[in-house]
Amino acid sequence: MHIVPDDTAMTAAGRGNALASRLIHRAHAEAGWYLYAPACALVDADRARPGTPEHLAALPGITVLDLDLPAALAVAQQNTWATAHSLYVAQPTPDRPDGAIIATAAPDW
C-alpha cells in the first residue's frame, strides 16, 4: 500500500491523531506499506504546526520526496503547492504502477 499524506494529515499526525499514527506505524511495521511525504506538504504542515516536518522526517518508514523539476513544473500550475505536490506524488510511476492513495484530514478533499 502506497500512501501520500497531505499537509493536513501530517499536521494531524503531529497533533497525535490516532488514525494518522496508525498509518505511520503500519509503514514502519508491515511489509508492503509505504508513506511518501512530499516536501511542499511538509512546508505547509510546518506552517500549521511548527516542528512537524522534523518529527515526521525522523520516523522510520517515511520517505521524503524532493521537489524535482517534473514535480516543480506540475506544482507551478496549481494554486496550492502542498496539494499539487501531493497529487503529483500520488500519480503512477514505474515503482508505483497503481499510484498512491492520498491520506488527508480535510473533509472537503
pLDDT at 93: 92
Model confidence, pTM: 0.88
23-49 pLDDT tens trace: 889 988 999 999 999 999 999 999 999
Q: Can you say how many angstroms the Cα of residue 77 is from the centroid of all Cα atoms in its chain? A: 19
Q: How far apart are CA 65 and CA 57, in angstroms?
A: 10
89-108 pLDDT tens trace: 999 999 899 999 999 998 77
Q: Is the separation of the CB atoms in 64 and 91 below 8 Å?
A: no
- What's the grid cell of residue 86? 501531493
Tell which CATH classification among 2.60.60, 2.60.40, 3.40.50, 3.10.350 matches the domain 2-103.
3.40.50
For 7-33, what is the mean pLDDT? 91
H or E element in which residue 65 lies: strand 62-65
